[in-house]
């Protein structure tokens, strides 16, 4: 039985969902300009410190496999509040870590904040149906993207002024503020499931047997895979290929955030009119076209940060069109299992991203170019087109 102090039923304001998801996104990228310096601080190779991205994403993926079903069974509010408290403890651990190993353990524990990103989508789906959910998710993630847009810029400035620990101190302060806001505003939007957790699990086959569900999951995983590969490799490319300082690299990191925000706006504006499948298809085409052009230029020996980062910005615009609609699509298959669908979809997305981030780190070597990273990103984006085409073909065959 839920304690009375957690039993709040009023739906949250949209700003609460934006800030909750924004904290999750910020924890992923604010420290990226500091990665080379953090490697020097702990006396380890860049590939070891890059695990703070790829291992974090891997743990996030694993957590979302259980977070979604648990929130379907026990409700969104109690799960989100518990995750926030654990995030605060883990963030304190990153600041107190005496070695790279302890830091990485605390960093992986920070991944519990992925709960905020996954369940903010489920809360939206609880409140509104179908294409309206895609539209609202687009607006939520558009607002959310403002936070990580300034994160790397701020992280680079804080690094140069105070050292890498300043970014994690800011995460701790913001985590306290968001926890207080969620406690006060985020009421329960999903009724706890009946019949126990085992009974809930028995209802999963209907979701897992849906080809449409898996198609949407793959479209989200593969389109966002390009971005996660970028997260894993861009700090190295900026520092070792283009010779960019942490602060300047932070400014370049705004390109994908601006693009993603614009793509989210387009989702919010046009998803109801055009439909989720068409928006996903258009988004994957935009992203793949930009990455394909940048890869071709890099292969031809034309290399410059003003080619690389704007291309990633256009890729992110396409992702901003794709991801809200893919997430809404996967949750629409079985609305009563929206948390499970969001969690599983998030696990696939982040797990695939962790793998691609690790591959990106392994492909890049001192003295090399950005070409391997761009080729990996392009390949993932091309595969996302195949995924949505599979969904559209399936729906056409069924006449729906």
Q: Give the DSSP per-residue string, 118-169.
A: HHHHHHHHHHS-HHHHHHHHHHHHHHHHHHHHHHHHHHHHHHHHH-THHHHH
- Averaging pLDDT over each range in 241-250, 263-272, 314-323, which range is the top one? 314-323
What is the pLDDT at residue 76? 85
Distance CA 133, CA 57 (A): 25
Domain ranges for the chain: 12-186+196-398
CA atoms within 13 A on the CB side of 106: 18
Residue 6: pLDDT over 60: no
Residue 246: pLDDT over 80: no
Which residues have CB under 8 Å from 73's CB, separation 6+?
192, 193, 196, 197, 200
Which structure tokens are listed for 359?
A: 């591959």
Confidence band for 142, pLDDT divided at 50, 70 and 90: low
What is the pLDDT at residue 89? 96
Distance CA 329, CA 277 (A): 8
Per-residue pLDDT of 174-195, as tens digits, reads 999 999 999 988 888 776 555 5
Better-predicted residue by pLDDT, 366 or 374: 374
Per-residue pLDDT of 36-82, as tens digits, reads 888 888 988 877 887 888 788 788 878 877 887 788 777 888 899 99
Please give the CATH topology (third level) of the domain spanning 12-186+196-398: Growth Hormone; Chain: A; (1.20.1250)
Confidence band for 240, pLDDT divided at 50, 70 and 90: confident
Distance CA 302, CA 28 (A): 30
CB atoms under 10 Å from CB of 44, counted, come to 18
Residue 2: pLDDT over 50: no
Per-residue pLDDT of 198-223, as tens digits, reads 655 666 677 778 888 889 989 988 99
Nearest Cα to Cα of residue 132 among 9, 268, 285, 321: 268
């Amino acid at each position: 039985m839920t304690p009375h102090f957690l039993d709040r039923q009023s739906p949250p304001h949209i700003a609460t969902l934006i800030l909750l998801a924004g904290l999750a996104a910020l924890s992923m990228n604010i420290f990226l300009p500091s990665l080379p310096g953090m490697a020097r601080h702990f006396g380890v190779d860049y590939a070891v410190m890059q695990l703070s991205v790829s291992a974090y994403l891997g743990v996030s993926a694993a957590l979302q496999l259980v977070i979604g079903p648990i929130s379907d069974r026990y409700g969104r509010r109690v799960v989100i509040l518990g995750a926030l408290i654990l995030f605060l403890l883990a963030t304190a651990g990153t600041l107190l870590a005496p070695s790279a190993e302890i830091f990485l353990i605390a960093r992986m524990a920070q991944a519990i904040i992925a709960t905020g990103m996954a369940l903010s989508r489920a809360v939206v789906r609880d409140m509104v149906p179908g294409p309206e959910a895609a539209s609202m998710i687009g607006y939520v993630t558009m607002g959310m993207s403002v936070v990580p847009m300034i994160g790397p810029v701020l992280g680079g400035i804080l690094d140069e002024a105070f050292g890498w620990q300043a970014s994690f101190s800011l995460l701790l302060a913001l985590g306290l503020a968001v926890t207080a806001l969620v406690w006060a505003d985020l009421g329960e939007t999903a009724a706890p499931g009946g019949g126990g957790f085992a009974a809930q699990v028995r209802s999963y086959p209907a979701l897992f047997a849906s080809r449409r569900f898996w198609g949407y999951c793959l479209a989200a995983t593969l389109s966002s895979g390009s971005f996660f590969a970028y997260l894993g490799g861009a700090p190295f490319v900026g520092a070792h290929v283009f010779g960019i300082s942490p602060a300047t690299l932070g400014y370049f990191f705004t390109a994908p955030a601006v693009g993603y925000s614009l793509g989210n706006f387009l989702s919010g504006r046009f998803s109801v009119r055009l439909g989720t499948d068409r928006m996903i298809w258009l988004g994957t085409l935009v992203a793949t076209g930009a990455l394909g052009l940048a890869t071709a230029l890099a292969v031809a020996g034309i290399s410059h940060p003003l080619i690389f980062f704007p291309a990633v910005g256009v890729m992110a615009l396409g992702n901003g069109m794709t991801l809200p609609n893919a997430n809404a699509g996967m949750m629409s298959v079985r609305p009563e299992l929206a948390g499970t669908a969001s969690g599983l979809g998030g696990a696939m997305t982040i797990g695939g991203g962790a793998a691609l981030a690790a591959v990106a780190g392994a492909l890049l070597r001192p003295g090399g170019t950005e070409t391997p990273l761009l080729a990996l990103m392009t390949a993932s984006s091309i595969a996302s087109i195949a995924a949505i085409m599979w969904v559209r073909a399936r729906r056409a065959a069924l006449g729906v």
